[in-house]
Every structure is written in structure tokens, then in C-alpha cells.
A and B are shown apart, each in its own frame.
Chain A
Amino acid sequence: MNLAIGEQLLQVQQAFAKGKAFDLIILVAVWLLALYFMRFRKREIWIRRLPALDFIEECAGRAAEMARPLMYNIGGGGPEDVNAPATVASLSVLGYVARLTARHGVELIAPMRVQASIPMAQEVIRTAYAMEGKSDVYETKMEEMLIWAPQQSNQVALIQRTKPAVSIMIGPFWHESVQLAEISQRLGAVQIGGTNRLVQIPFFAAVCDMCLIGEEVFVVGAYLSRSTPMLGSLAAEDWFKVMAMFFGILGTALATMGPVFVKPFMDLFVW
């Protein structure tokens, strides 16, 4: 009996990927801290304003005044790839934007680059319109709202054809970011950009009127819902940043002192 348990433990030990024990401990710690902030911390949590998100309602009003469409682009990531978190975050904003367009009677155009995202976006827009009591508008305009445009040339052509008053691009973007933003800018569209992809952030910062940088893309759901558990997770995020800063400073100091000091520190991360 003891041998059987021993063998099983050995099998689990052998199966446990080498060099990932530290990762597991950190992950468990992150989960516990996040759960603490989300579930048990009752104190009101203050978060700074995100002007880009506050600006969306104003943008919807502008599109209504100009009687031109509002274009919302969720980027080129899918729900199953590494950029899925940013896509999911972007879908949250799409729901918010769809409610505003339904309320103000603005035409919404959401070009889709990845086919797997289409059913999700469809559901998000459908429920948003249903909540505003505009299900009939959604049913008649559905084909024009969700357009599959897998290449950047499709999307550029779509922008030039529809001439949106507002262009919102939040999600993972590649080199098409600057093309889409520049074309919209030339057509006089107000723009809000945001991406988790480091290389594309400068382009959005340069061309768009408002910009979400890096991690700000992931907080939109919490920012828009304002629920205590969601805001709690943002507080946890700030604590992790403090820890990252601490380790960063410690690592810099040890690296400056020399390899003899930094080697044991680095070994901490691989066991």
C-alpha cells in the first residue's frame, strides 16, 4: 500500500515540470492575494480616471450629431490565442459602446478580423441592443454591424467607404494600427486607441486623440462596472506592481554588485 502511494507520488513528481515550482508558488500567491482583495476587502477602493474611457460617451454623442457611424475595432486577436485577455477586455468595451450607440441611434460598425470572435461580438451587441429596447434595430442592421474584414486593406477600405465620425480601436493590433489610425484621422474621425502590444502603443499615442496604454486595456471591465470585487482586483494589481518594483530595484543593486551576488538571486526563480 505504502509502495503504491510512493510510486504515485514519484509519478506526480516526475510529471511535475522542472523549473516551474517557483512559478507555481508565485501563481498561488497571486491568486490568494487577488482573492483577498476581491472578496474580503470591504474598504472603498479609489481608482484614477481613465480619460479615454470617459470620452467614449462624448464620442457617441458626436457621432449622433454628425449622423455618421461609430466604428469599433476589437483588433486582430482571437479568443484562443495569447492575446485573448485583451480581446475579452475589448469585448467588454464593445458592449458598453453598443449600448451607447443603441441609445443615441448611432450606426455601429464593428469590423472583425478573426472569425472566432464574431459569435462573441454578435452576442455582446445583441444583448446591448436588447437592454436598450432596440432589438428590432439590431435584427435589421446586424449584417452591416459585424463585417468580417480579415486584412488591413479590407478595414482601410471600410473606413474610407463609411467615413466614421468616431473610431475606437481597443485590443491587440499589429502593423495595421498606424494605417487604420491614420486613415481615420485624415477623414476627421475622433479616435480612441488602446493596445496591449508594446510595439504598437507609440503609433496609437501619436495618432489617436485618447489612448489606453498597456495594462489600462485590461482594467476597462472593472472601470466600467465599478463593482467592488472588480475594483479589488485592480488594487491587487497595484500591490503586484509594488512587488515588481521591489524585485527590480533589488535585482539592479545585485547586478551592479557583480555576478557573485546576482547568481544566487537568479537561482531563486528556477527550482
Chain B
Amino acid sequence: MAMRIIRRQLPIAITFLTGMIFLSEWFVTGTVLTSFTTGLSNFVQSVHVFVFAFAAINLTIVHVGRIRRQLRAERRDLTEMLLSGYLLVLMYLVGLVGAYYGHVRMKIPSAVPEYLWWFNNWELPCEATAYAGTLFFVLAAMYRVFKIRSRETAVLVISGIIAMLGTTPLIASSWQGFFQLGEWLDRTIVTAANRAIMIGIGIGTILMGIRTLLAMETGYLGAKEE
């Protein structure tokens, strides 16, 4: 019974209360509700930071356990574990040393600059490369779509060719027809279809919110245990 209250009824009650408060705050601004929602948002941010710290400790415990198990096993594969463990320790050290020199010795109130260096020189280039790779995936997906199998796909291929020719500089500079036709397709046909889908998404979101607030949609809590 107690577990049922903690696992199901309490989250449902919290969802309803916070949902109604945030909903009311949208309509009535500058009152006690605003300060409450701001405080709640700050609380969520603090919880996120705490979760990160907790996750780092948890990750360390899990890795140590796994490495121990691997050491006992006959076929050992420690490469990934040691690499991630090494990077984890490295991050701890960078954070601690950076925080000591930055905050304590040099009295800099900002975040640890070493992390920024890692982010700019490691994370960003890797992300940019991965993002650039999207182009090739889009091309492959486009190749699959541009096969005429039915009337609908024929219409799609024809409109796609018009749109492509319209945005090709050589074609567009010699004859404006494709460009204008492509623009018309984009502004009229595509926008109409997009708006229909957007209206559906909007209505679906509202109804989903109502179902969640009224504790009808409880899939996020897991299935009801019999």
C-alpha cells in the first residue's frame, strides 16, 4: 500500500498540482504564482546538477564492479571500460584542479575554463563532423524516396525535381520558371500540408496534457502492477 502511494499516487498528485499551477501562471502573471513557478524551475535546475554529481559517483561504482567481474572472467575485454574509466578520472582531475586554481587561487567566479577548452577542441569538432555526415544520410534517404513505385511517389519525384531545379543556380539564372514553380509548391502545397499536421500536433498535445493531468495517461509511471 505504502509503495503504491509512493510509486503511483504521489507522482500523479504532484503532476496534477504542478501542472495546474504552471497552467494558471500562463494566464495570471506577476502574482505569487509567478514566484512559485520560478522557484520550482530553479529547484528543477538544482536537482539536475545534483543528478549529475550522483550519476558520476554511480558510474564509478558500476565501472569498478564491471572491471572486477571482467578480471574474474576467462575472456577479458577491458578496453572500453578502462578507456571510459580513464576519461572519467581525467574529467574529475580537470574539474578539481581547475576549480582549485580558478575559484580558490585566482578568484575567478566563472566555470572551469579547462572544460570549455575540452568542449571547444574535442566535443565541438566531433559534433560538427557528425552533423556534416547527415548530408550523406539525407542523400541516401532521398535516393530511396525517389523511386517511382506508385502514383503518389511519381508526384513526389516530379515536385522534388522541380524544387531541385529551382534552387540550382545555373538553371535558376537562365530560366526563372522552375524557381517560381518551386516557390509556389513550397508556399501553397507544402505549407497547407504542414499546417494541417501542426494543428493535429497542437490538438494532440493539449489532449495529451489533459489526459496526463487527469491521471488517465500514466504510461510514464510504468504499467499497473497486479
Contact = CB atoms under 8 A, between A and B. Distances in A.
B204 A214 contact: yes
A63 interface: no
Tell me the dominant secondary structure on chain A's binding face. Answer: helix
A131 B199 CA distance: 37
A30 interface: yes
A153 B127 CA distance: 8
A160 interface: no
A228 to B, nearest CB: 11
Contacts of B200: 214-215, 241
A198 B223 contact: no
Nearest to B59: A148
B30 interface: yes
Interface of A: 12, 14-17, 20, 23-24, 27, 30-31, 34, 38, 79-80, 85-89, 91-95, 99, 115-116, 120, 123-128, 130-131, 143, 148, 151-153, 156, 175, 178-179, 181-183, 196, 198, 201, 203, 206-207, 213-215, 217-219, 221-222, 227, 229-230, 233-234, 236-237, 240-241, 244, 248
**Most chain B beta-carbon contacts within 10 A, residue among A23, A88, A92, A93:** A88
A233 B221 contact: no
B201 A123 contact: no
Interface stretch (B94-102, B103-111, B208-216): B208-216
A147 B48 CA distance: 18
A182 B216 contact: no
Interface of B: 7, 26-31, 44, 48, 51-52, 55, 62, 66, 126-127, 130-131, 133-134, 137-138, 140-142, 144-145, 194, 197-201, 203-212, 214, 216-217, 219-226
B220 A79 contact: yes
Contacts of A213: 197
A160 to B, nearest CB: 13
B192 to A, nearest CB: 9
B193 to A, nearest CB: 10
Contacts of A124: 219-223
Contact of B220 (A91, A182, A219, A230): A91
B220 A92 contact: yes
Nearest to B131: A175
Contacts of B223: 95, 99, 124, 127-128, 131
A115 B222 contact: no
Nearest to A87: B220
Contacts of A241: 199-200, 203
B226 A221 contact: no
Given A12-B28, A131-B223, A175-B134, A116 B7 contact: no
A232 to B, nearest CB: 10
Ranked 6 nearest A-B pairs via Cβ? A92-B219, A127-B222, A215-B204, A218-B204, A215-B200, A85-B208
